[in-house]
Structure 1
Amino acid sequence: MPPYAPAAEAPPLPAADTAPAPSRRWIWLAAWPVVAVLALSNEPAPLYVLWQRQLGFSSATLTLVYAFYIAGLLGTLTVAGTLSDRYGRKPVLLPGLGLGVAAGVLFMTAHSVPALSLARLLSGVAVGAFLSAGLAAVSDVADRADKRLAGLVASSSMVGGAAVGPLLTGVLSETLPGPSVTVFAVQIALLLAALPVVLRMPLPQRARAGGAAGGGRWIRIPNAPRANRRQLLLGLAVFAPGIAATGFVLSLGPSLLAELLHTSSRILSGATIFVLFAAATGVQFAARRLRTRTDLLTGAALTVLSMALLVLAVAATSVAALLASAVLAGLGQGLSQLGGLTMLAADVPAGRLAEANAAFTAGGYLLAGVLPVAAGTLSDATTLTTGTTVFGVTVTALVAAGALAVIRGTRDS
C-alpha cells in the first residue's frame, strides 16, 4: 500500500482520561465485542455451497459476493479510523453493532444473490468499524506497560472471532432446522450481548474538532503518522499475502473441499476454517515473547509452506494436504498480524492508532479481495485446479518479496 501524504497533516488530538486507570481485565472485556463482530465475518462461508446449489451461481459469483464484504470493509476503513481518533471509539462501535445486526437479519432472509451481496456489504462495514475502533479500544484500556499484551489480545480477538463463526455455522446448520435462520439468530444474540460491554468501556474522551475543516478530511486513505509509515509498510508486506491466503480458504475453500471429497458437509467446511483461524489464534499466544521481526519472518515462511501444500493438494487430490495448507495459512497470518499490530500499538500515538490499524487492515484486505476473486474468475474460465495453482504461486512470490523487505528494513527488535 503506497504511503499517503495529506496536504497538511493535523497534529494528534489530545486525549483526556477522565476516569482512573482501568484494570487489566478490561483488556479482555474490550476484546469481546471484537470477537462477536468478527464471528460474523466468516459465518457465511460454510453456507456458500448451500446457497450456490439453491441459487445456481458460479465460482466467480461466489467470490464476487465475498468481494462485497471486502468493499464494505475497505470503504469503512477510509473513514472509521479517522472518526474514531477524532470523536472517540463508541460513536463508531455502536453503529457498527447495529449494522452487524442488520446484516444478520438479511442473511436470515436472503433468497437471491443481491440480498446476499447486501448482507455481505453490511457485515463488511460492521467488521471495518471494529477492526479500526475496536482494536484501538483494546489498546486504549491498557496501561503503557501492557501495550504488548493489548496488541496480543487485539490481534487474537480478531482471528478468534473469525475462527468461532464458521464452526458455529457448520454445527448449527447441520444439526438444527432452518440452517441460515438458526445460525444468524444466534449471531444476532451475540451482537446484542456485546452492546453493554461497549457502552461501559472506560475509554478516554477525545477533544472534538470543529467539523471536517477543523481536523482535516473525514474520508481519506487511512495511514500511520509519517514516523511510523515504514513499520506499517513492512508489516503489510508480509501480512497482506498471508491474509490473501486465508481469504482464498474462506471464499473457494468449501468448493475445493467439495471437489476433493465429493461432499458438501457444512460441518467439515466450517471445521476446516475453524482450524485455520484457531491456529492463527493459538500461535499468537505461543509467540507472545518473540521479537516482532521474528514474528514477521516466521509468518512469511509458514505462508510459503501453506501455498506449496495447496498446490500439492489440488495436483494430488489430497485432503490431508489441503487441511495442512489451511493450518499453515492460519499460522502464517496469525504471526504476521501479531507482528504488524504489535509494532503499531507500541509506537503509534493514541490519537492516530485507530487510523493506523485501519491502514494495516485495509492494505491486507485489499489484496485478500483481489486475489481470490481473480482465482475464482480464472477457475471458471479454466479449472479450479488451474485457478488454485496460479493463486498459490502468486502468493508465494509476494510473501517472499515481503520477507526480503523485512530482512533489509528492520533490525532484530
Structure 2
Amino acid sequence: MRSTQHTESPVATAAPGRHAPPATAAEPPPRREVWLAAWPVTAVFILSNTATPLYVLWQRRLGFSSGMLTVVFACYIVGLLAALLVAGVVSDRVGRKPVLLPALAMGIVASVLFATAGSIAALAIARLLSGVAVGAIVSAGMAAVADVAGPERRRLAALLASTAMVLGAGLGPLLAGVLSEALPGPTVTVFVVEIALLALAVLVVVRMPLPRPAGPRSGAWVRVPSVPRANRVHLLLGIAVFAPGITSTSFVLSLGPSLLADLLGTSNRVVAGATAFVMFTAATAVQFAVRRLKVAAILSAGAVSTVGAMASLALAVHLSATPLLALAAVLAGAGQGMGQLGGLTLISARVPAARLAEANAALNVGGYLPAGLLPVAVGYLSDAVGLSTGTTVFSAVVAAAALAGGAVVAARRRTTL
C-alpha cells in the first residue's frame, strides 16, 4: 500500500508520458496585507508627536524654559539615533519581529510614563523610550512593509511606509489637542488611547507573514548604519533633501506651540495639535500626488517646498501672522514628505533586500541628526536673543541646506537618478 503522507513536487509525481505543469512563483499577498503591515509604523509615530500640544501644560506645571523644552524634545532624537545604531543590523540578521515587538513594548512603557509624569526627568525618559521605539520602527517596520509587499510592489511599499510614518506623526498631536481640551485628564487620556493602539499593533506584528532574514551574520552588531558602496550616492541624495525637510518639521513640533502662544497670541491646544496635523496631512497627501513622478522630480520639489516653508516661517514671526505660520507648516510637511518618499524609493529600488533595514536606518540617521541638534540650538538661542531672532536664524540655515540639497540632486539628475 502506498503511503499518502509523503508529498512531492508536481514534477516528481507527474504520470509517465505526461508533461509536468510548470512551477509557478508564489502568489503575492493581497494588497490589504501590505496596507495592514504599515499599521505598526503609524501606531508608533502617533506616539512620537502626541506630546507636542501638551508641552505647554507640563511647562506651566513644572516650570522649565524653552531651552529645557527642546532638550526634552531632543531626548527623543537621542533614543532614536541610539536605536538606529543597532536596530537595522539586528533586523536584517535576526528578523523583523524580534525588533518590532520590543519596540512596541517600549512605546507602551513610554505612554505610561507620559501619563504619570510628575517631573522633567520622567518626561525626558518617556521621550527617550519613544525615540528608541521609533528608531526600531523606521528600521525594521519599514523593511517589514517591503518584505510583505514583495519585490514586485517596491514602489507601493515605499509609499505606504513613508505615508504611514507622516500620517501617524500628524494624528498624534491632533488627538492630544482634541482630547486634552474635551476630556478630563488632559495629559493622561490620550496616552491611554495610545496604549490601546500600540496593543493592536502588537497583534498585527504577531500575525504578519514575514520571510526569514537574509542578511549577513558577520560584522559588528552595533555600528553606524550604512549601505553597500555602490548605493552610497543614492543614500546621500535622499539625505540631502530629507534632512532639511524633517528639520523644519521638528522645529514646528518642538517650538510651534511656543510660537503660537508667545508671538501669535493663542494657547489653545487644539490649534497647536491641528497645526501639526495639517503639516503631516500635507506630507501624506503630497506623497500620493507625486508618487508617479521620477525620483529626481520628487526630490527637487521637496527641496523647493522646504525653502518656501522657511521663508514663510521667518515672515510669520516678524509679522505675527497665523496664516503664514500655517503655510510654513504645510510647506514644511510637503518638503519632508517628498524628501522622505524620494529617499525611501531610491533605497527600496537600489539597495539589496538583505541590507534594506540598515539602509532605512542610515537614511533616518542622516535626517534626524540635524533635526535633533538644530531645534535645541535654536531653543537656547531664543532664550538669549528672543524667539523671533532665533527663528529667523533657524530659517536661514535650513533654507540654505535645502537649496544645497536641491543643487546636488540637479547635478546628479542625469548620471544617477
Please give the range of the TM-score, normalised by the shorter of the 2 chains: over 0.9
CA distance in structure 2 between the aligned counterparts of 1:381 and 1:260, rounded to whole angstroms: 16
CA distance in structure 2 between the aligned counterparts of 1:125 and 1:366, rounded to whole angstroms: 14
Q: Work out whether residues 91 and 213 of structure 2, in 8 Å CA contact, stay in contact via their aligned partners in 1.
A: no
Q: Map residues 291-302 of structure 1 onto 2, 5 A cutoff.
A: 291-302=294-305
State, as a whole percentage, how many aligned pairs show the same letter.
62
Distance 1:380 1:69, change over 3 A: same
Q: Work out whether residues 19 and 204 of structure 1, in 8 Å CA contact, stay in contact via their aligned partners in 2.
A: no
Matched with 1:348 is: 351
CA distance in structure 1 between the aligned counterparts of 2:317 and 2:213, rounded to whole angstroms: 52
CA distance in structure 2 between the aligned counterparts of 1:318 and 1:351, rounded to whole angstroms: 49
Matched, 1:318 2:321: yes
Matched, 1:86 2:97: no
- The total of aligned residue pairs comes to 392
Match of residue 41, structure 2, among 34, 38, 50: 34
CA offsets, 1:344-396, max 9 Å, x none?
01111111000000000111000100110011010001100010000000001
Matched with 1:48 is: 55
CA distance in structure 1 between the aligned counterparts of 2:89 and 2:63, rounded to whole angstroms: 41
Superposition TM-score, scaled by structure 1 size: 0.93
Q: Work out whether residues 306 and 326 of structure 1, in 8 Å CA contact, stay in contact via their aligned partners in 2.
A: yes
SS of residue paired to 2:400: helix
Matched with 1:285 is: 288
Shift, 1:215, TM fit: 1.3
Matched, 1:230 2:233: yes
Letter in 2 for 1:295: I
Superposition TM-score, scaled by structure 2 size: 0.92
Q: Work out whether residues 55 and 113 of structure 1, in 8 Å CA contact, stay in contact via their aligned partners in 2.
A: yes
Match of residue 102, structure 2, among 82, 95, 114: 95
Distance 1:287 1:179, change over 3 A: same
Shift, 1:19, TM fit: 8.1
CA distance in structure 1 between the aligned counterparts of 2:83 and 2:27, rounded to whole angstroms: 32
Q: Map residues 379-394 of structure 1 onto 2, 5 A cutoff.
A: 379-394=382-397
CA offsets, 1:40-90, max 9 Å, x none?
000000001111111110000000001100000000000000000001100
Q: Work out whether residues 215 and 355 of structure 2, in 8 Å CA contact, stay in contact via their aligned partners in 1.
A: no
Match of residue 189, structure 1, among 191, 196, 204: 196
Letter in 1 for 2:104: L
Q: Map residues 142-291 of structure 1 onto 2, 5 A cutoff.
A: 142-206=149-213, 214-291=217-294
Q: Map residues 117-136 of structure 1 onto 2, 5 A cutoff.
A: 117-136=124-143
CA distance in structure 2 between the aligned counterparts of 1:109 and 1:202, rounded to whole angstroms: 36
Shift, 1:142, TM fit: 1.2
Letter in 2 for 1:31: A
Distance 1:390 1:189, change over 3 A: same
CA distance in structure 2 between the aligned counterparts of 1:276 and 1:56, rounded to whole angstroms: 28
Q: Work out whether residues 170 and 267 of structure 1, in 8 Å CA contact, stay in contact via their aligned partners in 2.
A: yes
SS of residue paired to 2:149: coil
Distance 1:139 1:207, change over 3 A: closer
Q: CA RMSD in A?
A: 1.3
Letter in 2 for 1:180: T
CA distance in structure 2 between the aligned counterparts of 1:148 and 1:311, rounded to whole angstroms: 35
Match of residue 79, structure 2, among 56, 72, 85: 72
SS of residue paired to 2:89: helix
Shift, 1:226, TM fit: 1.2
CA offsets, 1:237-288, max 9 Å, x none?
1110110000000000000011233221110000000000000001000111
CA offsets, 1:6-41, max 9 Å, x none?
xxxxxxxxxxxx986422221101001110011000
Distance 1:386 1:208, change over 3 A: closer
Distance 1:241 1:255, change over 3 A: same
Matched, 1:333 2:336: yes
Q: Map residues 97-116 of structure 1 onto 2, 5 A cutoff.
A: 97-116=104-123
Shift, 1:228, TM fit: 0.7
Matched with 2:362 is: 359
Letter in 1 for 2:280: F
Mean CA deviation greater in 286-295 or 261-270: 261-270
CA offsets, 1:159-207, max 9 Å, x none?
0100110000000000000011101000000000111110111100126
CA distance in structure 1 between the aligned counterparts of 2:411 and 2:73, rounded to whole angstroms: 35
Gaps of 5+ in 1: 1-17
Q: Work out whether residues 304 and 396 of structure 1, in 8 Å CA contact, stay in contact via their aligned partners in 2.
A: yes
Letter in 2 for 1:363: G
Matched with 1:11 is: none
Larger radius of gyration: 2
CA distance in structure 2 between the aligned counterparts of 1:304 and 1:206, rounded to whole angstroms: 40
Gaps of 5+ in 2: 1-24
Matched with 2:374 is: 371
